[in-house]
Structure 1
Amino acid sequence: MTKVMLDYTKSILERVSFDPALFYKELQKAIKTLLPHEMVQLKEWLYRFTNEKPELKPCLLVINS
């Protein structure tokens, strides 16, 4: 079940990546929902995903706090 939630979160973040404010909002929801080991996987994915989208990099500050 946990893989499903992580995959769902990734798909939502991909869909809203056109808007940094919306991306940030969805990322905050994911942080509240996902388990710690899922957050590790999400962080890895986020660093790869935002590598090509510099406008989203400031949103990563929320996962480091």
Structure 2
Amino acid sequence: MSEDITQLKMCELRAKGFMEEIDRRSAKPTVVCGKCGAKADRPEHLHNPRPLSNKKLDSYWG
């Protein structure tokens, strides 16, 4: 019997140890969870999705 993991959120996947699935769902993250801080490609993979802010360059020239 294999468990259906398609409906699980990122924090549930982490709790159950599905690290490979977490890697697949966060290859190019666009959102971050306001609850647990997990990053994901799509908002439906998180409980409390927030837009991932763009990184600001830490440089005098950028």
* TM-score band, normalised by shorter chain: under 0.3
More helix by proportion, 1 or 2? 1
Q: Which structure would you say has the larger Rg?
A: 2
